[in-house]
Chains A and B, each alone.
Chain A
Amino acid sequence: MDVPPPFATVRDLRVELTRPGRDSRAQQVLKGISLDIRPGEVVGLVGQSGSGKSILGLTLLGALPERSRPAVTGEVRVGGVDVLTASPKTMRQLRREKLGVVFQDPMTSLNPTMRIGAQMVEATGSRQLAIDLLARVGVPEPAARMNVFPHQLSGGLRQRVMIAMAVAGKPALIIADEPTTALDVTVQKQVLDLLAELRAELACSVLMVTHDLGVAGEIADRIVVMRDGEIVESGGVAAILTRPQHEYTQRLIASRISLESDRTRPLPMFEPSGEPEDDELVERIEAETYPVWRPAPGAAPAVTVRSLTKTFAQSRSTTLRALDGVSFEIGAGESVAIVGESGSGKSTILRIVAGLETADRGSVVTLAVAGRPQMVFQDAGASLTPWMRVGELLAERLSVEGVPAREHRERIERALDVVGLDRSVLRIRSRELSGGQRQRVALARAAIVPPAILLCDEPTSALDAWMAANIINLLRHLRHEVGMSMMFVTHDLSVARLIADRILVMRRGVIVEQGAAEEIIAHPREQYTKDLVGAVPDPVFAERAA
């Protein structure tokens, strides 16, 4: 039997980038990568952020950022073209005729000042073809949508448009760089299904770049695991997911948050690229077990929410009812997750409890004896003021809560201990901290005066698997040590299950279902909840069951 030659071949690829601005030292981002992509094959390229996986994708495209003054050695052949030496004209032709690209964030990868139609036609060459393609990728009323601007579409629709542009030239290879990371779980599933369908239709290859083993497992034939610019392991999906050979892959799989992660134990932690060898906190956390929460008899609830209603004006004539009479309580020390798609109203509740938004009707009562409610944002580390020293950031919160200055030192040191940071960070400005340290400081600040409730707004959704596992562990550790109540908003049921004792499922401004976390996942009653459960990509489980 003849094996067709690979469509793309990478041999001993080394890439050095000099990022402008910083200390301007050249950094080796890819350290000798060799990879084949066969015709029709779907390759899942998995790694943490900073592993070089996106740079590999850009190299295949011949699109390394010129500002970083890339120095490239090795060999890269795509569709018979030597990418490293080809003329700009040849590269343009290659991109137009044989390659399609889908980037991560559909909001920023479409031109905001150009109508969808004009952007489509750039790829298709004809208006009719553009409309047909939009219809094919599931954009409703495609002809009308040609005339709108990107910001007038939802995230899922924008990504469909992006995919339509990628497949316009009937490409032989689609490079998809984290195409679903910015999307809700349910939308993620639809987009993955669409990609799989199109791949079958076009019989093209796909390079799926992702930090999520689950996503790679859903769609790929073969998985390639990268770390620090090197390939550590590659093989068939089943082999990698069920019998990973390399220790790094094993840890990636173990730290993956799934519907069957152990709820009583922390997630396995492992070092991200470039973080210092970790400290005793990891050992402390790894020794922890989390007992089932039971309400203390006679304790007042931490938060009582009564018939919250909130309406937003969408335009002059239409309004959106974000919350429609929502009531619930969160017990002292309890952790509750609110789960739903974008637009379900879950973030609005959070913002009202935090005092960032006022309700039209209804009431929120929080425990008066504790500190004010604190927020943990999507990117917790980014919520620190970059030029302030860690000590100042922590003291600021203490002053606001009225803690006398003579107690500051002791409280600050205790907070640092809880998150396992050395006293020496107190004099460091937050922009000089590593990503992991920043997360810890943000959490230390939130917990330094135990708040009536800790409000978490999708703190894992923008992070790769390592960072997500890290912050979930930290949150559970904090709860364990400080005993706070938590309210956790997420679209991902597997995260909700780990962090919460109880789950509220929201849809269109009302709570459609609620119950103990395990119960909701195991026996969802509403179709909507069942869809949410089904959307969690869980190929490891599927492979083992098969």
Chain B
Amino acid sequence: MTQATDIPKPALRAAAAETPAAPRGAWMRKVTPYLFIAPFVISFLLIFVGPALYALGLSFTNYRGFGSFRWVGFYNYVTMLQYDAFWITLRNTAFYWVAHAAPMMGIALGLALLVRSRLARYRRFFKTTIFLPQMIASVTAALVFQNFFGTTSGVLNGFLGMEIPWLTDPDLAPWAVVLILIWRGTGYWFVIFLAGLTSIDLEIEEAAKMDGANGWQRLWRITLPLMKPILLFAFVVDMVVTWRLFAEPNVLLGRAGTLAPIEQAPVLNLVVENIRAGQFGQAAATGWLLFIIIAVLTFVMFKLIGSKTRGSER
């Protein structure tokens, strides 16, 4: 989010303002920008801000969506914080992030380096295949993996001639979710890292010429440090996205459209479960707790990154 391109052109604007305009010009000039932003901003207020505030109000009630309700203060927040399922789903979500992010970023970066390497062939083909899973929807991917990991009529057990309960064993099931996340997500970051590598290419070459370094040294001493801001950014974005995880674990580990068991569920399941139980107040409170967690974590991560990368940013 650089401000570099944002520099207004005061000279030009001033010149334009002085030019004699049409009769209603001055007034129109003032109103025009508002007319352009109004449809978006007003829709946004109605669609986003309104429901957000309404949800905040709801979170202090025991409203079921019909009939009467009582104001219950922070009761919904307190019970949720006391509910071990809340902490279990938080732990699960954190696990899903940690377990998939590190290998995924590693694989994505490694593949990006390989594809960019001057020794690589068929670059376009590999770029296409690695990115392809991005075109597969989460739900679709989860169903394909469900078919793959099924116990009695699963593809993998069919190959192995065994009956390993990949998706019902609580120790194995989370890893199947992690595998989907890696499978679907790698292509995205691979493309971004490729673009990143392209943008620092020149610097690498220049630095390498000065150093006379070999391939490995170049990678460790120049490429990776230059890629660090992008990598850290990737981890933050991926973290925020993972807190919103829902489709993959639930489609893969739930059955016939039901939710995954709490032991493997992401935190959003508690919002959905409460809505389906008709507990709108509790659902809203859970949502706002989730918001607070994401906000704090993002803030902390940006602080950490800010202090670490200040030197390399312009």
Bound pair (A, B): no
Please report B residues at the A interface, Cβ cutoff 8 Å: none
Please report A residues at the B interface, Cβ cutoff 8 Å: none
